[in-house]
């Protein structure tokens, strides 16, 4: 694991040096690609350095436990108790960070929330989910754009679709997909009874734009006219066009 971290750290330093190269700075597309790759490695590098520093500090604490005087052994014991769980947590985080990335992780996210069972309360729950994601987006410094809404009742949504743009937006949001459930006394409940409401969340990566070149020599065009009584408008005006790629 540490060998892999060392390789990534070397690549990170190489990319950092490239960002300061005037020749690279003049090529905006290449600079953006280098900055993107560097950002993807930054978390592993940070965790790796913290893991190494914590491991060295823990070794020092255990040296005090073995060979120090009474005060030094007490200090070493306290540091050992503090650093041992911290090192284990850093190791787990580092293992997760080293897992292969989903190619879509760096893309923006398209999120759709639909109210489920529960009527107006489910629509209010869908609105609560949207506001939660909206606040999370703001804290991450991302941008949120509402694409489509279908409102229901007092402040609820039957459906709302929005785009979240920012670094690793899809990676962080994709696990929100699924059915969300809440049990509470609704605002619409006058007798204090607990209701269960659901909402479904779908998270998709933004689709890349693709340019398609069509050879119109390979396309057959068929123009259709209505038939029957009705005069010139029915028989002469084109009412449908069909393109067939052959």
Residue spans per domain, the chain: 2-97, 109-205
Number of H helices, E strands in the chain: 7, 7
pLDDT of residue 235: 56
CATH no. for 109-205 = 3.30.70.1660
d(CA 136, CA 4): 32
d(CA 99, CA 47): 14
Q: Are 107 and 174 in contact (CB under 8 A)?
A: no
Q: Tokens 């402040």 sit at which residue?
A: 155
Q: Measuring CA to CA, how many Å separate 61 from each of 80, 100, 140, 167, 241?
A: 6, 35, 37, 39, 80
Nearest to 141 by CA among 167, 109, 170: 167
E strand or H helix at 242, and its extent?
strand 238-245
Secondary structure E strands in 49-193: 109-115, 143-152, 156-165, 178-184
CA 43, chain centre distance (Å): 16
Q: Quick count: other Cβ atoms within 10 Å of Cβ 152?
A: 18
25 confidence band (pLDDT: 50, 70, 90): confident
Q: Are 140 and 170 in contact (CB under 8 A)?
A: no
d(CA 78, CA 101): 38
pLDDT of residue 113: 96
CATH 1.20.58 given to domain 2-97? yes
pLDDT of residue 21: 85
pLDDT of residue 230: 55
pLDDT of residue 143: 94
Q: Measuring CA to CA, how many Å separate 82 from each of 53, 56, 87, 177?
A: 14, 14, 9, 37
Q: Which of 133-137, 201-205, 233-237 has the lowest mean pLDDT?
A: 233-237
Whether the predicted pLDDT of 178 surpasses 80: yes
Residues sharing a CB contact under 8 Å with residue 54, sequence separation 6 or more, in sequence order: 83, 86, 87, 90
153 confidence band (pLDDT: 50, 70, 90): confident
Highest mean pLDDT among 12-21, 23-32, 131-140, 153-162: 131-140
d(CA 44, CA 98): 7
Residues sharing a CB contact under 8 Å with residue 119, sequence separation 6 or more, in sequence order: none
Q: Are 147 and 172 in contact (CB under 8 A)?
A: no
pLDDT of residue 193: 81
Global pTM reads 0.55
Segment 204-238, tens digit of pLDDT:
998 777 677 788 888 888 887 666 565 555 556 66
Segment 93-104, tens digit of pLDDT:
888 788 777 778
């Amino acid at each position: 694991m540490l060998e892999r971290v060392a390789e990534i750290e070397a690549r990170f330093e190489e990319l950092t040096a490239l960002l300061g190269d005037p020749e690279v700075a003049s090529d905006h597309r290449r600079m953006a690609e280098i900055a993107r790759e560097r950002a993807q490695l930054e978390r592993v590098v940070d965790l790796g350095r913290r893991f190494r520093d914590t491991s060295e500090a823990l070794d020092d604490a255990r040296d005090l436990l073995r060979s120090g005087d009474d005060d030094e052994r007490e200090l070493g014991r306290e540091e050992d108790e503090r650093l041992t769980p911290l090192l284990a947590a850093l190791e787990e985080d580092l293992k997760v960070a080293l897992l292969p990335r989903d190619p879509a992780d760096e893309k923006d996210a398209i999120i759709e929330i639909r109210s489920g069972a529960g009527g107006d309360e489910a629509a209010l729950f869908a609105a609560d989910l949207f506001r939660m994601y909206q606040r999370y987006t703001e804290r991450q410094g991302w941008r949120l754009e509402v694409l489509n809404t279908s409102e229901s009742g007092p402040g609820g949504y039957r459906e709302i679709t929005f785009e979240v743009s920012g670094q690793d937006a899809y990676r962080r949001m994709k696990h929100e997909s699924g059915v969300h459930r809440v049990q509470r006394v609704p605002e619409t409940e006058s007798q204090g009874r607990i209701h269960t409401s659901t909402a479904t969340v779908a998270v998709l990566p933004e689709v890349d734009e693709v340019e398609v070149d069509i050879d119109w020599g390979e396309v057959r065009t068929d123009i259709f006219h209505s038939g029957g009584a009705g005069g010139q408008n029915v028989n002469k005006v084109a009412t449908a066009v069909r393109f067939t790629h052959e």
